[in-house]
Structure 1
Amino acid sequence: MFLSSPLVSPPEGKFFLKSLIALDAGGTSVRAALLAGDGTVRSVAVGGRANPVSSGRKVAFESVLDTVTRATSERTLIDEGLDSITICSAGGSEFLRDGWLAKEFHHAGFTMPVHLRSDILAAYCSGAVELDGYGLVSGTGAAAVRVRAGEIVAVADGMGWLLGDEGSGFQIGQAVARAVVADLDRRGPATALTAALTELLDIEVDPRAGHEGRVRTLLNLSDVLFGWSPIELARLTPLAFEFPHDEAAREIVAGAQQRLGTTLTAVLDPHSPGPVVLGGSVLTRQPAMSAPVVEAMTAAGFPADLRTVGDGLVGAAVVALRAAGTDVDDAVHRRLTEGVARFRV
């Protein structure tokens, strides 16, 4: 069970800090931090894909377990082990079915409590100590949340590549691929994205007719893209922002902006103002994508208090510490931020 304060006294009378693991688990990678109960970051490890929906829960758990093991492997754990593991995960509900996650950790020798929370809550807490506010994430997927008293009370999107993730890296990358296919298939306008994509993927450009009269360039491209998993289309996202004067690229970016604005608006409460924390590679690497956020906040009468975070590891640590009874104030948040930064490469 969780201890109620950062310092506790074992039977022999010696004092020690609690030892916690916090993880920010996403569709591209998972990051883990080994923490003391006062917010001191003792180690950080990074692993592979950890979204149980897009990657399958077996693959996702293997990434999580490997990352936890590496985060703790060269450290002497305080007490006789970890007090808890907190995973802030995209698609985390898949982990919970049939008590699967707890069973897998138990089989791996981790018998302490394991807690599963939202990766978007972690993103929010990475950028804000305030207990009330909003988070908007657009990376491989996309979603928005309203946070009140440190908990998510409303969410929009985050429905995965098949049913939602509007304005996400997947959606933008898929739109790029579709625009290029339409160009090569003579169903859409010519676009600079075509040459850029074929060059990026080292596709042989061959305008001759191939099987059933299809342009061979299109056949070569489809062979490559059909070999990818759907979410890998997010790799094509940067192309949409490289051609601001190209009609197809402009429409893709404008559509993604509109969709993210709509998603954020769905959770805004005019009676509950607060900061908006932006996370995910689409929002953090493409400044143009924050425009609809400002518009949505202005329409709701909020001041445009925007904060950008690179990932949710600091926030995952905040969530873990708060669950363990630690009061995360500005000083603790700063300690976490600086501690994680020391381990970044």
Structure 2
Amino acid sequence: MSLVLGVDAGGTSSRAVVATLDGQVLGRGRAGCGNPAACPPVEAFLQVGRAVEEALAAAGRGGVRAAVIGLAGIEGLPEGLAAHFPVPPRVVGDVVVAFAAGTPAASGTALISGTGAIAAKIIDHEIAATADGHGWQLGDEGSGFWIGRQAARSAVRGTPGSLTAAVLKHLGVGEPEMVAVAVQAAPPLALAELAPLVSRAAEEGDPEAVKIVERAAGLLVRTFREVHAPGTPVVLAGSVLTSEGPVRRAVRDLLPDCAPVVAGRGEDAAAWLAARSLAPRTPHQDFLPDTWGVSRT
């Protein structure tokens, strides 16, 4: 029996799946940060390996005939990564996997907002152009990090409302003045953990949270428009946009003519791309039924 392996290596987690050529899942694995742009490469590749081994534990290595890994900012197969795979994987951009997680189309636009943020024009399942994706220090506008930083900035100023109260509680401090101390004691990207607090506070009507949500959506759509070709499919991906909530709604409201769809699991899309290398007519629905309105059982 021929098997395929798909991996989505993100800044927060790495996820792997082993499946048959008709999309039957035989094993899944999950581990920590697998993006060498977000954590040290040695640690990233170790985490990817753990996810792969967990997925292979139930399926075995012998039947794997093709593998695809979605990875940001890397072309070619890094030396430290190959040893974790039963066959040499094809490395594609994480945005390519994200786009494939929402549509069988070969070309269109992916808009991602997770820990970071980027928009990409995809042509024939390859990256043709990108906007933003410059990292938390220089860009990633509208990302989970950006949203969390706005929440922390609001809280340190003592802005009245439920958002400030939620930030203080999350950080374990009693006064706004202590927010800076708590934030500076943690890794910078930990600010992304505050993004869900903004969504909840916005749903409750907190004015500051609503303002942050609106700004985030506006920045994401501005990034999107830098690369989007009108009339082509649009896929929303990343934890901020795949989660039902005010940011996704605000982005959709700003894109009334684009009919964006929400991405499914990136690792399943990577497995579909791997299957297509063996059987080009492999149906997208076999690997990502949820995006077609078909429930998994």
Calculate the TM-score normalised by the size of structure 2: 0.87
Rg comparison, structure with higher value? 1
- Cα separation, 2, equivalents of 1:73 and 1:329: 26
- Aligned ranges 1:80-229 → 2 under 5 Å: 82-89=64-71, 91-93=72-74, 101-106=78-83, 110=85, 112-183=87-158, 189-205=159-175, 218-219=177-178, 221-229=179-187
Contact 1:280 1:311 in 2 (8 A): no
- Cα separation, 2, equivalents of 1:198 and 1:313: 35
Contact 1:27 1:54 in 2 (8 A): yes
1:279 aligns with 2:216: no
Counterpart for residue 44 of structure 1? 28
Counterpart for residue 61 of structure 1? 45
- Cα separation, 2, equivalents of 1:286 and 1:76: 36
- Cα separation, 1, equivalents of 2:198 and 2:60: 47
Question: Unmatched 5+ residue regions in structure 2?
Answer: none
Question: What secondary structure is seen at the aligned counterpart in 1 of 2:129?
Answer: strand
1:24 aligns with 2:8: yes
**Identity of paired residues, percent?**
31
1:242 aligns with 2:242: no
Counterpart for residue 265 of structure 2? 311
Cα distance, 1:20–1:242 mapped onto 2, change above 3 Å: closer
Deviation at residue 157 of structure 1 after TM alignment: 1.5
Deviation at residue 75 of structure 1 after TM alignment: 2.5
1:256 aligns with 2:240: no
- Cα separation, 2, equivalents of 1:104 and 1:135: 26
- Cα separation, 2, equivalents of 1:243 and 1:25: 30
- Cα separation, 2, equivalents of 1:261 and 1:119: 19
Q: After superposition, what is the alpha-carbon deviation per residue over 1:295-341, rounded to whole angstroms, capped at 9, x for unaligned?
A: 6645xxxx432211343122111222223443233553456979994
- Cα separation, 2, equivalents of 1:131 and 1:149: 5
Contact 2:265 2:288 in 1 (8 A): no
Residue identity in the other structure for 1:34: V
Q: After superposition, what is the alpha-carbon deviation per residue over 1:74-118, rounded to whole angstroms, capped at 9, x for unaligned?
A: 323445xx33432112x342x85xx6x234433x5x463222112
- Cα separation, 2, equivalents of 1:335 and 1:176: 36
- Cα separation, 2, equivalents of 1:297 and 1:222: 36
Contact 2:14 2:33 in 1 (8 A): yes
Work out which of the residue numbers 75, 83, 91 in structure 1 matches 2:59.
Answer: 75
Deviation at residue 166 of structure 1 after TM alignment: 0.8
Q: After superposition, what is the alpha-carbon deviation per residue over 1:38-78, rounded to whole angstroms, capped at 9, x for unaligned?
A: 43322111111112111111111111001111111232344
- Cα separation, 2, equivalents of 1:158 and 1:51: 13
How many residue pairs were aligned? 294
Question: Unmatched 5+ residue regions in structure 1?
Answer: 1-15, 184-188, 206-216
Cα distance, 1:246–1:322 mapped onto 2, change above 3 Å: same
